[in-house]
């Protein structure tokens, strides 16, 4: 079973040269979308991938570059295709995603009163590996991003770490490699400024070279071109390129 990765976008929240940092994982048997930001429907359209081809969506946290495309996804799937998209998310995100994000645009008296009326909700328990779609299982790992807002990274198929949005956590990265057999890391990076809510390039460059070699950078700002050749042993994920995870991303 070959796991393929295609980033719909590799941009940070306010990037204008890249779509939102949302990922398509294809196991050959099923397709999982990780996060569905504002630009995700447009990116999928440009990739020529119908939303009906997605077997499930997993949400890591509630920022618009990670959930801003769910209203369109929900309405199109239900109103045009007569299907509820499968939505995986931590139990702690279910209520705020509906009450604070989706309800405003999607609630319709007598027709759509709850998120369950437009999505097939599949709650995830952090720390427990769940079978998401055929060929893809994942464990939610609570990570620090915005104080007071829940946010989760992913450990996929006991070999691939997906940071989502998080501040620097070298202990976690070391533990994943040394104790859990991690073979590749897709990691967000903030290129400029202090890392208040993200992980900075300088922080990642402080990691040992052998760990850096496992890291592929994503969720970056428009300045990324000026950082070519300045990312140590780390590579920069290319937007919409299809990667064979084992052959091209694992060390």
Ligand X SMILES: O=c1ccn([C@@H]2O[C@@H]3COP(=O)(O)O[C@H]3[C@H]2O)c(=O)[nH]1
Nearer to Zn ion, 65 or 139 (CB): 65
Minimum distance from CB of 146 to ligand X (Å)? 6
- Two tokens, residue 13: 């929240």
Binders of ligand X in range 136-155 (CB under 6 A): 146
Tell me if 65 contacts Zn ion by CB under 5 A: yes
Binders of ligand X in range 157-186 (CB under 6 A): 165
Binders of Zn ion in range 150-169 (CB under 5 A): 165
**108 class by beta-carbon count within 10 Å (0-12 exposed, 13-18 middle, 19+ buried):** exposed
Tell me if 30 contacts ligand X by CB under 6 A: no
Which of 17, 80, 192, 196 binds ligand X (CB under 6 A)? It is 196
Binders of ligand X in range 61-80 (CB under 6 A): 63, 65
Nearer to ligand X, 13 or 172 (CB): 13
Nearer to Zn ion, 22 or 231 (CB): 22
Minimum distance from CB of 23 to Zn ion (Å)? 12
- What residue is closest to ligand X based on CB? 13
Nearer to ligand X, 62 or 124 (CB): 62
Minimum distance from CB of 219 to ligand X (Å)? 7
Nearer to Zn ion, 92 or 112 (CB): 92
Binding site for Zn ion (CB under 5 A): 13, 63, 65, 165
Binding site for ligand X (CB under 6 A): 12-13, 63, 65, 146, 165, 196-197
């Amino acid at each position: 079973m070959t796991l393929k990765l295609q980033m719909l976008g590799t941009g940070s929240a306010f990037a204008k040269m890249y779509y939102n940092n949302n990922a398509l994982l294809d196991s050959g048997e099923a397709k999982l979308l990780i996060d569905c930001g504002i630009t995700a429907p447009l990116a999928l359209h440009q990739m020529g991938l119908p939303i009906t081809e997605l077997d499930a969506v997993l949400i890591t946290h509630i920022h618009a570059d990670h959930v801003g495309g769910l209203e369109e996804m929900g309405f199109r799937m239900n109103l045009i295709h007569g299907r509820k998209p499968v939505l995986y998310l931590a139990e702690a995100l279910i209520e705020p995603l509906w009450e604070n994000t989706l309800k405003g645009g999607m609630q319709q008296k007598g027709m759509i009163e709850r998120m369950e009326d437009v999505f097939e909700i599949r709650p995830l328990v952090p720390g427990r590996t769940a079978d998401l779609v055929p060929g893809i299982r994942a464990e939610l790992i609570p990570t620090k991003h915005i104080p007071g807002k829940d946010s989760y990274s992913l450990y996929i198929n006991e070999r691939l770490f997906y940071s989502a949005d998080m501040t620097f956590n070298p202990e976690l990265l070391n533990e994943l490699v040394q104790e859990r057999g991690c073979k590749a890391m897709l990691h967000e990076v903030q290129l400029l400024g202090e890392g208040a809510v993200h992980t900075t390039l300088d922080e990642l460059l402080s990691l040992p070279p052998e760990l850096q070699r496992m890291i592929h950078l994503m969720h970056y700002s428009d300045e990324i071109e000026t950082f070519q050749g300045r990312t140590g042993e780390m590579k920069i994920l290319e937007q919409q390129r299809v990667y064979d995870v084992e052959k091209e991303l694992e060390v």
